Amino acid sequence: MTSLKTTEWIGAPETRAVIAALEAAEAGSARFVGGCVRNALMGKPVDDIDIATRLEPEAGVAALEAAGIRAIPTGIEHGTITAVENSKPFEITTLRRDVETDGRRAVVAFTRDWAEDAARRDFRLNALYAEPDGTLHDPTGGGLEDAATGRVIFIGDADTRLREDYLRILRFYRFNAWYGAGIDPEGQAACARQKDGLHQIAVERIWKELRKLLAAPDPTEAVNAMAESGVLGLLLPECTTLDGLHDLRVSETLAGVGADPMLRLMALIDRSAPSVMAVSKRLRLSNAEADRLTMWAADNLPAIPGMTGAELRRTLYWHGKQAVVDRALTSGDNVRDHLFAIRAWKRPEFPVGGDDALAAGLEGPQIGKVLRALEEWWMEQDFQPEREELLSRMAKRS
């Protein structure tokens, strides 16, 4: 393919308006770049449209505003602005070259050379450009071939690219999970050599990349490669086997569930309180993510396979639907029938409360004690007793 001229997003009115504004300031100054070009070539959905331009940020803002298009200086110090046309955002970045790198962030200078801009990118398939009419440009000389064959190959020397930004190690595996048709041996070897550089990267950035990797339809091959290079052990020493991930992929297929990064993280680590605490702290998980891990690993959450319907309903009531689903899918057993029941389940509301206990004459600690005992009995009866029966039993305890 030599052109993307028939691609729907290129001809969209919003896209044409933004391109026209930039081209009005300088003809030939704007090209589509990166993910939108790559995904279009690989037959994958295009969600975000990135544009590279010779215009410096202030000139880009002026050109957009002159055309009545909103311009937001989202990262103007790094050369990036965002155009918003009819509620559709477009990220526009001035062509750049690296002046200095430290393994985390680059100091850049603006350039007018498309080849210089391409040379500072990570992979050949991410350094593809398309003119407004769809004409393709492949400055590195391998991007089009990589997009056609599903190869993720670093631009130039892989070790050099990684030392510029060690997060590219995880990007290598993430892009393989989403786009790759086999791990590039040279890239794999470079990641193994440079993996200790990940200690320089903020853990928030690491978890963000890892989440994206684990969200791929099937990240198994990429995770296997991470384990072989030592990268996985560096990030998750709690992962001693990949059997859990392989079993989860089978369960996902049988149960018809989609990719869930948190569930796949669970499948990679030991289900124990120390492991959960260590992973939550190391990756700086959000409170919601850490709580979900903790509930999944709870010692008092029983095994799901073999449960009767009543036992399953009691477990759902006590532990919550999310924890039960997580445990079921990571159990390594076929729990498809249980999942249907879990999804259909709605938590019943305990029919009595503190006001009823006070009205029955209960006081102080006795209130909580009696209510807990009543709720446990109600659960044992499969939530069938109604309010009147519970009030009657409460009255006998007052």
Nearest alpha carbon to residue 194 among 170, 225, 219? 170
Task: Write down the mean pLDDT value for the chain.
Answer: 93
Neighbouring CB atoms inside 10 A of 67's CB total: 17
Quickly state the pLDDT bin for 1 (edges 50, 70, 90).
low
Cβ-based neighbours of 237, under 8 Å, separated by 6 or more: none
d(CA 34, CA 353): 59
Nearest alpha carbon to residue 322 among 287, 346, 296, 351? 296
Neighbouring CB atoms inside 10 A of 347's CB total: 11
Cβ-based neighbours of 54, under 8 Å, separated by 6 or more: 26, 28, 29, 30, 94, 95, 112
- Distance from chain centroid for Cα 368: 42
Give the type of residue at 64. L
Contact in structure between 120 and 99 (CB atoms under 8 Å):
no
pLDDT tens by residue, 30-54: 999 999 999 999 999 999 999 999 9
| The Cα angle at residue 7 between residues 42 and 25, in degrees rounded to 5 | 115
Token pair in block for residue 389: 């029966």
Contact in structure between 153 and 134 (CB atoms under 8 Å):
no
pLDDT tens by residue, 118-149: 999 999 999 999 999 999 999 999 999 999 99
pLDDT attached to residue 243? 93
Average the pLDDT over 332-340 and give the result.
74
* Domains contained in the chain, CATH given: 1-149 (3.30.460.10), 156-235 (1.10.110.30), 240-344 (no CATH), 354-397 (no CATH)
Token pair in block for residue 58: 């202030």
d(CA 187, CA 344): 46
pLDDT tens by residue, 227-274: 999 999 999 999 989 999 999 998 888 888 899 999 999 999 999 999
Token pair in block for residue 214: 């684990």
Token pair in block for residue 139: 């400055």
> In the chain, what percentage of residues exceed pLDDT 90?
78
d(CA 367, CA 259): 45
Which whole-number Å values give the CA distances from 328 to 149, 239, 303, 314, 336, in the listed order?
A: 37, 20, 8, 15, 9
With 60 as the cut, is the pLDDT of residue 353 above it? yes
pLDDT attached to residue 334? 67
pLDDT attached to residue 333? 66
Token pair in block for residue 201: 């990267």
Give the helix/strand (H/E) hosting 297.
Answer: none
